[in-house]
Structure 1
């Protein structure tokens, strides 16, 4: 009980910290914005606490199959942290912000080629954006996309080389996939594989689709102010995090499907042996 309480409290604090991080680090944030962010941080922390303190699942998938959620959280945490440091460095430069800006600029420049997701995000810059704002947009897009790719690669290696999730103990299907109804109809194995393929395809397409959707929204006078630091941070974080998260979910579902298929083969083979005897 005490261990679960401490664990849930720590996770709730970290989630609230991630939500509040840009507001805490960036200068010149208005009082109204601060109040809204504090409210969102409390709500996010409370939902996380309830989810992890409860003995039964509700919404969060792969709750008891580390390090799936930990990798996703770390990817989002470092994305927001690095972009916040860089954005703060535009007003209050430090050695760290200078190093991160230079590194991010190199990464963004390398990824900024024709038809790349980074180029599509850079094209969302308003027409009156300065050269510095364009560089900041390219740097943020490059860093966010790189972190998402690294987290995705790390999870794939964890699945392939570390035998996730069974290396960390027995996998409870109901606890880790509370939103998946195995009785909804059809073979569960086919449904898992179908959902895995859909998630991977969506994850691959979203980095290209999101900029197109945002550009289309600007046609209807709903333009995203990417020159504003907080808007830039959260837009880039969502653009990079959501696709990698979907692909990770697809890889995880395919891994669960492979485990179920392997277990079925063993059960069928054992039944055939017993029938032959």
Structure 2
């Protein structure tokens, strides 16, 4: 019990640190923004502690299938932290911030071709925006997109090479998928495969859909301004992290479906052998 509580407290602190990172590192953060960030960080930390301190999960999927959630957290934290360093380099330049800015500029320019996600997120910006903001958005998008691709590659290797999630441990489908109700709908295997395809498809489409939706709603609502560093950090992080997270979820559900299918095949083969022996 003590280990579970201490682990839940550590995860809560890490989530709070993630949310507070831009406010802690950047200068000239308004007081009202700081208060909102502190409130959100405390709330997220409390919810994370309650979730991981309980015996069974209620919201978080694959809680007992490490390192699925750890990999997602590391990817999001790395994105937020690196984008914060790049933004901090505008006022306090160092060799590290300049190197990250150069890397993001190279990656952003290399994938800024027609109909690419980076080109679409640049096109959603207002026409009269400062050119330096466009360069900042392109640089941040390059870094965030690189991290998301590296995360996907790492997870695919975990599944294909390391044998996630069943290597050296048992895997409970219903505990690790608390939001998946096996009693509704048709066959569980078909539903898992369908949800897997939907998540992967949405994950591939979201980098293109998010800029289009923001651009379409900018005429009805106040357009999002990227001149605020924190807005830039969180918007680009969400734009890169959410699609990668959905693709990871789709791959994970496909893996679970394949495990169930293999277990059914073995059970049917065993039943057929037992039936053959009884007939003989």
Task: Give the TM-score range, shorter chain.
Answer: over 0.9
Q: CA deviation at 1:131?
A: 2.7
Q: Distance in 2 between matches of 1:113 and 1:228?
A: 26
Residue in structure 2 matched with residue 105 of structure 1 by the alignment: 105
> Aligned runs of 1:8-87 on 2, under 5 Å?
8-87=8-87
Q: Distance in 2 between matches of 1:56 and 1:30?
A: 40
Task: Give SS of 1:219's match.
Answer: coil
User: Please, which runs of 5 or more residues in structure 1 have no aligned partner?
Assistant: none
Distance 1:104 1:33, change over 3 A: same
Residue in structure 2 matched with residue 217 of structure 1 by the alignment: 217
Q: TM-score scaled by structure 2? A: 0.97
Q: Distance in 1 between matches of 2:188 and 2:16?
A: 36
Q: Distance in 2 between matches of 1:106 and 1:178?
A: 42
Task: Give SS of 2:167's match.
Answer: helix
Residue in structure 2 matched with residue 148 of structure 1 by the alignment: 148
Task: Give SS of 2:88's match.
Answer: helix
Matched pairs, number: 277
Q: CA deviation at 1:94?
A: 1.3
Residue in structure 1 matched with residue 264 of structure 2 by the alignment: 264
Q: Distance in 2 between matches of 1:104 and 1:168?
A: 39
Q: Distance in 2 between matches of 1:228 and 1:100?
A: 19
1:181-210: CA deviations, max 9, x gaps?
111131000000000000001001000000
Q: TM-score scaled by structure 1? A: 0.98
Q: Distance in 2 between matches of 1:272 and 1:220?
A: 64
User: Please, which runs of 5 or more residues in structure 2 have no aligned partner?
Assistant: none
Deviates more, 1:127-136 or 1:220-229: 127-136
1:61-117: CA deviations, max 9, x gaps?
000001110111011000000000000111111111111101111111111111100
Are the equivalent residues in 2 in contact too, given 1:65–1:168 (CA < 8 A)? Answer: no
Q: CA deviation at 1:168?
A: 4.2
